[in-house]
Each structure stands twice: as C-alpha cells, then as structure tokens.
Amino acid sequence: MDMTDTKKTEVQQGEEGKAGNPFFMAPKRKKMLTLVGIYICLVGCIFQSSTASTLLPMAATEIGGLDYYSLANTLSGAVGVIAMPLWGLFGAKNPAVKKPLFVVSMACGLVCLIGRAVAGDMTFMIAVSLFWGLPSAGLYVIGYSMMRDMYDSKTAGTYLGICATMQSVGMLAGPVVGGLVMDFASWRAACVLIAVIIALGTVMVFLGVGATKQEAAGMATATGKFDATGSLAIVVCLGCLICGLSLGTSFLPFGGMSSNIVFILAGVALVALVAIVAKKKDSAVVPLSALKNRNTLLFTAGSFFSMFSNMAIFFFIPMYAISAMGLSATEAGLTTSMLSIVGLFMGPILGRMIGKAGNARGVLAVGSLLRILIALVLMFFLAPDLNIFVLYVILFVGGFYNVTFGVVFSAGPQIQLPAKIRVQGNSVIQLGQNFGGSVGTAIYTIILASFGVVAGMPIALTISAVAAGVALVCSLFLKKLEGQEQG
C-alpha cells in the first residue's frame, strides 16, 4: 500500500469514527450552546477561585476561623482529586452521561456557593466547601472532553485554547468585580453573584448537545466496575495528608501524636492504592493503561508542579498585599488580575499552535522558564514598601506564563493522548493539577504561618521556582501523538 492509499484509509477511518460520535454530528446550534455554557461555567469557577484568597480571610474575620480557614480551599481540592478519576471512569464507560455529570457537578458548586453565602461559622463554610471539588471534575474532565468530542483536533485545539481566555476573564473579573462587591456590599453578596454566573452556564449546557447510551455506545472505552477500595484509598490518603499539612500549625501540631497518626494513615493508604492499581490494572480507579502512557505521566507531573508553583503567587500575593502592604481588597485583588490580561488574547493563539503542532512541549517549556524568572524577580523586589504599580507590572509580565499553563493542560491532553485513554488519562492529569493546588496551598500556609508573611514569602517563592523547574523538565519529554491514535 502506497502513501496515498494509507492517507485515504486514515481519512476513511476518521470519518467513520466521526459518524459514530453523536456529539460531533450534533447540530451546530446545539454544539455552540454547549460550548458557550462550558465557557460561562469556567468563568464563574475561576471567578470563585480568584476571589477565594480575599473572600475566605474576610469571612473568617467576620465569623471566626482565621487559624483554619484555608481548609475551605484545600479540602475542596481534595474532593476534586477524588472525583477526577471517578468522573473519568464514568465518562469513558458511558459517554452519554457526560452532560448529566457536568450539570450535577455544577449544581454541587451552587450548593457550595449558596451555603457559603448563608454560613454562620467557619466550620459550616468548610463543610459546604467540600462540594466545590465537584465543579472542577465536571469542568476539567467532562467539560474539556465534551469539547474534544464535538470537534476535530485542530478546531478543538483553538476552542480549548479559548478556555485560557475564559480563565483570564474570570481572573480579571474575580479580583476587580469581586473586590468591589466585597468592599461595598459583602463577601456573601460575592458568593451569590458567582452562583448566578454558574447557574446560567449550567442551564445552557443542559439545553445543549446530548446523546443516549445507545447513540454513544461506539465511543465507550473503559471496562470494569467501580473501584470502591481504590476510591477509599484515595480519600484516606489525600484527606489525611491535606488535613495534616493544613492543621500542622494549629489543631494538629507537627511532631505530636495526632499529627503522626494522620501522616502514617496517609502513607498506608498510598501503599494500598499502589497495590490496588497493580492488582486491578485497568479496572482500578486510576487505570494502569493511562499511567503507562508517557504523555499522561508527563502531563500529570507537569500539572502537579505547575499548580504547586502557581499557588505561591496566585493565592498568597493578594494576602501579602493586604496584610504586609496594607492595601484594600480591591487593590490586592488587582495583583492577580494583572496575571490575566495577557490571557485575553493569547489563549486561542497558543491553543491553535498546540493543535497544529500536535505537541504542547514548546509552549509548556517557555511558560515554565518564565514562571521561574517571575518567582526570582519577586524574591528580589517584593517588600512591604514596594510601590504597588511595580508589583502590578511584574505580575502583568507573569501573565505570559499564566496563560501557557491554562492552555497546555486544557488543550494538550486532548491533543496528545490516544483516543482510547483520553478521558481517563485526562482525569489523571487533572487529578495531578488539583492535588498540586491543595498540597501547594497547605505547604505555603505552613511556611507563612511559621515564619510570618514577610519573612515567609521569599521561602515560598524559592520553592515555587524549584517546582516550576521540575515542570520544565517534564515538558522536554512530551511526545507528539502520531497516526490513528489521535481519534
């Protein structure tokens, strides 16, 4: 068979695959409704994330819980880590449930936001915040997968790149609009505003593309039953680890018996999880075939260390601006807004580059290098008497690394993972991202609580730069997906 025949065969197989994909064959109007709905939900979720560093300490000041308010963020991240592989399994086994899973995930986010708005104490706020882990799984595992299902790789690369633009919109609107709402109304009003945005997007997705189990049967790839023991191991491991780190300077002092027990339980659960994956293989909650894929492992490690690195700046610079520099919530919120401006126009460009090249290696490498540079610059310049506009300029430049992070881990896995493991492989990658955020927040909290905000920030930034360096190394070994594995 010559090259022409080979190309014809690949095209025919590609067309047959599209014919068996009800999401790809859906009317353009329905596809656009789903696409815009996902974008709006993404804006709302990033709005929430970008205001959390201001909203949570403000809430703790009013209702109590300053010693442990960060648990509202770290524990929700742990729930997201647990949900990621489960949502990946459900979506891979039965692609028809993707839309219902997305809608339910966003509904859980609404429960969290409304619960926060009426919270009378920090314990209740932390409890309802557990629901916030599910929107992450709905967006980054199911939402991104739905976008890939609806379009070919190059078109999907562009649309997934726009996700970075939507993230930038949320990061801009969150600190600015959220800061104004908190300054002139209340943090409770900010929760209600975010809930309205997410509800709008959820309704649009509900009215968008869907499929029956029979229609989507040809897209199903996963086998095996729900892995209850593996899921329990993840819950125990991550719950104990994050609680131990987050409460190490307050309720579970490091070195004490309670703290040691918590970390021992985390270690035992991790060993159990490894044994479960080795025994159940592709039927495990974290499928072995996904873990064996080179790009899955590199993207997972890269997403973990990138998010771990990012939290030192994204979550703690606004707190530094308020507590060390004496700025208002609006002024502090503008620090993270500066990280988002570049993403308004660079997201689709980078997404198309990744889709066209079939490899996110170059984009991730450049972003990681710039992330290291910005961390080093902040280590040198950041001080309580620093002119706020100098800080704004530094973070504006940092926006170039911020947009690469958003694009690489939205578009990259959808372009570079084989079709048969794409949904579950992406769930593992997003698991790494959420885990990195939760662990990073907990560790940086420990550092700032132990050394103080002013003395602790240089230490946190040093660790951030090292983590970005690891992400850089991971990027260098990403491999382009060839041939019919692209799906």
Of all residues in the chain, the percent with pLDDT exceeding 90 is 27
The pLDDT of 298-320, averaged and rounded, is: 87
Domain borders along the chain are 27-222+287-480, 224-286
The overall average pLDDT reported for the chain is 83
**What would the pLDDT profile of 100-129 be if each residue is shown by its tens digit?**
999 999 999 999 999 999 988 888 988 888
Ranges 177-191, 350-364, 374-388, 409-423, most confident: 374-388
* Between 52 and 44, the higher pLDDT residue: 44
Quote the pLDDT of residue 469.
Answer: 94
* pLDDT interval class at 464 (50, 70, 90): very high
Ranges 76-90, 149-163, 371-385, 411-425, most confident: 371-385
Question: What is the C-alpha separation between 427 and 435, in angstroms, rounded?
Answer: 12
Residue 422 pLDDT > 90: no
| Architecture per CATH, 27-222+287-480 | Up-down Bundle (1.20)
**What would the pLDDT profile of 202-253 be if each residue is shown by its tens digit?**
999 999 988 888 888 777 776 656 677 887 888 788 778 877 776 666 677 7
